[in-house]
Amino acid sequence: MTGSGTIEVHTVNGDIETVLLTEEEILRGTDRVAEEVTRVYTGTQFTVVSVLKGSCIFASDLIRRIPIPLELAFVGASSYGEGTEAGKLVVNFIPSEKEIEGRRLLLVDDILDTGQTLYRLKAELLKRGAVDVKTCVFLDKPSRRAVEFEADFTAFEIDDTFVVGYGLDFDGHYRNLPYVGALRREIYEQARPGV
Ligand code: IMP
Ligand code: MG
């Protein structure tokens, strides 16, 4: 490192209580899901639709492990305000008509929690003319489900713990952690007293 200024290093890792999934475990899970996806889509044309922002890391690792032709599109949805409880789902943007109509889509999200996001996005894409919509999630919290919904592909099931890292955020932070960890309680209590 060059330069003479004093750099104050704030390490986000100190905010993490426990690591739930290491980088190695994540990549093993991603490899397994990529093989399942490859088996299902071999011989068909399909588009991976990454749900922003949370799934960008998982989707980019996943598609690089799928050795068959695919296209990539993005959909913007946010179901969280500033805290750890689910809020109203807002669809910020949707792929263009020609990216949806008559296409087989694989919706990829970071986590299946209450199920609202993928339930609504899948219905919306089918309504707009997709011929088939399957879903693939990095994490699944089955105990939190509010609507009847299961993903077609799941890398890991976890308990009802709020987690961050590998794309998942708390108030917009921690997406860049290469592992998945549980936040220290005082971090979210500080940000939102009473949550
Ligand atoms: P659902 O609509 O309740 O299934 O929520 C899905 C979205 O909620 C995800 O795409 C995440 O953005 C967010 N979410 C749910 N659980 C967590 C968590 O433990 N950490 C970070 N984000 C979460
Ligand atoms: Mg999200």
Q: Does residue 195 sit within a domain? A: no
* Residues 138 and 106: beta-carbon distance below 8 Å: no
* Residues 188 and 195: beta-carbon distance below 8 Å: yes
Which region among 16-25, 60-69, 91-100 has the lowest average model confidence (pLDDT)?
91-100
**DSSP code at position 29:** H
Kindly state the tokens that stand for 104. Answer: 């087989």
Q: Does residue 168 sit within a domain? A: no
**141, 158, 168, 175: which to mutate for ligand 1, most atoms within 8 A of CB?**
168
Q: Does residue 184 sit within a domain? A: no
Q: Which residue, by CA, sits nearest to atom 11 of ligand 1?
A: 111
Match 């929690």 to its residue by tokens: 113
Residue 111 Cα to ligand 1 midpoint, Å, equals 5
Q: Does residue 103 sit within a domain? A: yes
We report the CATH number of the domain holding residue 158 as 3.40.50.2020
Q: Does residue 169 sit within a domain? A: no
**Percent of the chain having pLDDT more than 70?**
87
What values do phi and psi take at 138, rounded to 5?
A: -70, -50
Per-residue model confidence as pLDDT tens digits over 108-133:
999 999 999 999 999 999 999 999 99
Q: 113, 132, 140, 171: which is the annotated catalytic residue?
A: 113
Which region among 4-18, 22-36, 122-136, 165-179 has the lowest average model confidence (pLDDT)?
4-18
Structural domain count of the chain: 1
If you write DSSP's letter for every residue of 30-50 in order, what string do you get?
Answer: HHHHHHHHHHHHTTS--EEEE
Is it the case that residue 86 has pLDDT exceeding 90? no
The reported pTM is 0.89
Q: Does residue 8 sit within a domain? A: no
Q: Does residue 60 sit within a domain? A: yes
Range of the domain at 141: 22-162
Kindly state the tokens that stand for 29. Answer: 């899970």
Length reported for the chain = 195
160 is catalytic: no
Of 102 and 188, more confident: 102
**15, 113, 114, 136: which to mutate for ligand 1, most atoms within 8 A of CB?**
113
Per-residue model confidence as pLDDT tens digits over 29-58:
999 999 999 999 999 999 999 999 999 999
Per-residue model confidence as pLDDT tens digits over 56-77:
999 999 999 999 999 999 999 8
Q: Does residue 16 sit within a domain? A: no
- pLDDT bin (cut points 50, 70, 90) of residue 6 is confident
Question: Looking at residue 194, what is its pLDDT?
Answer: 42
Candidates 156, 82, 79; CA nearest to 115 is 79
